[in-house]
Amino acid sequence: MRTLPRPAAYRFARPGLSPCIATPFPVYSPRRRLPTQCAWKSDLTKGDNSGHISTAENESILFFDNLTPLRVGPIVLWQPWQTERDLNDLMNRYQSSSLGIFDPINLVKRAISDKVPIQVTEIIPRLKDGGAFVKFTHPEGTSPKEIQSQLSALLTEKPLKPWFSPFRSVRSGLVQGVPWLEDLYRLPKSRIRVEFVPASDEEAPAELSQETLYSLFRKYGKIGEITSQASDSKVNPRFAYVDFALVRDAIMAKNCMHGFILREQGSKAATRLRLSYEQRVKPHHIWNWLTNHPRIVIPLAAAFLAAFTVIVFDPIREFFVKAHVQKTFEFTDSRLYKWFKSRTNDILTFRKHKAEQAGLNTLFTHRKDLIDSIKNSLLETIDTFIVVHGPRGSGGRELIMDQVLEGRKDVLVVDCRPIVEARGEAGLIRRLAFEVGYRPVFSWANNLSSMVDLAVQSTTGVKAGFSENLESQVVKILQTTASALKEVALSDRKKDAKDENMSEEAYLEAHPERRPVVVIENFLHKSDEKGIIYDKISEFGAALVQSNIAHVVFLTNDASYSKTLTKALPDRVLNQITLGDLSPRVAKQFVLSNLDIQEEETQKASEENKHENSEKVDRADLKELDECIDVLGGRLTDLQVLSRRLVNGQSPNKAVSEIIEQSASEILRMFLLAKDNAPSPEHKWSVEQAWYLIREIANKESLRYNEVLLSNTFASSTTTSAPEGALEALANAELITIRSKHGRPQTIRAGKPVYLAAFARLVSDQVVAAKMDLGILTELSKIEAKNIDKVENELALLGSLPSQPKQATGRTNYLLSKLQASQQKIESYEQEMGMLKKVLAEMS
Q: Select, from the ranges 392-401, 522-531, 766-775, 797-806, the one with the highest average predicted confidence (pLDDT).
A: 766-775
Does residue 389 carry a pLDDT above 80?
yes
Question: Residue 213 and residue 199: Cα distance in Å, rounded?
Answer: 17
* pLDDT score at 416: 92
Question: Residue 266 and residue 268: Cα distance in Å, rounded?
Answer: 7
pLDDT band at 20 (very low <50, low <70, confident <90, very high): very low
* pLDDT score at 432: 93
Indicate the helix (H) or strand (E) that contains 596.
helix 584-609
* pLDDT score at 544: 94
Does residue 484 carry a pLDDT above 90?
yes
Indicate the average pLDDT of the chain: 79
Residue count (the chain):
844
Domains and CATH numbers, the chain: 21-174 (no CATH), 191-281 (3.30.70.330), 314-349+380-578 (no CATH)
What one-letter code names the amino acid at 746? Q
**What separation in angstroms does the CA of 576 have from each of 400, 545, 675, 689, 718?**
14, 15, 40, 32, 39
Average pLDDT over residues 480-487: 93
Q: Select, from the ranges 219-233, 369-383, 389-403, the one with the highest average predicted confidence (pLDDT).
A: 219-233
Q: What is the pTM of this model?
A: 0.61
**What separation in angstroms does the CA of 22 have from each of 26, 55, 123, 128, 408?**
12, 21, 18, 19, 88
Does residue 596 carry a pLDDT above 70?
no
Does residue 491 carry a pLDDT above 70?
yes
Question: Residue 277 and residue 720: Cα distance in Å, rounded?
Answer: 84
Does residue 79 carry a pLDDT above 80?
no
Other Cβ atoms within 10 Å of 681 Cβ, number = 7
pLDDT band at 799 (very low <50, low <70, confident <90, very high): confident
pLDDT digits (tens, 9 = 90+) for 739-796: 887 778 899 999 888 999 999 999 999 999 999 999 899 989 999 999 999 999 998 8
**What separation in angstroms does the CA of 10 have from each of 55, 129, 144?**
16, 13, 24
Residue % of the chain over a pLDDT of 70: 77
Chain-centre distance for alpha carbon 596: 54
Q: ∠614-618-623 over CA atoms, to 5°?
A: 170
Chain-centre distance for alpha carbon 443: 3
Cβ-contact 236, 114 below 8 angstroms: no
| Dihedral Cα 317, 319, 323, 326, nearest 10 deg | 120
Average pLDDT over residues 463-487: 82
Least confident of 56-65, 217-226, 254-263, 716-725: 716-725
* pLDDT score at 33: 35
Does residue 268 carry a pLDDT above 80?
no
DSSP string, 512-526: GGGS-EEEEEEETTT
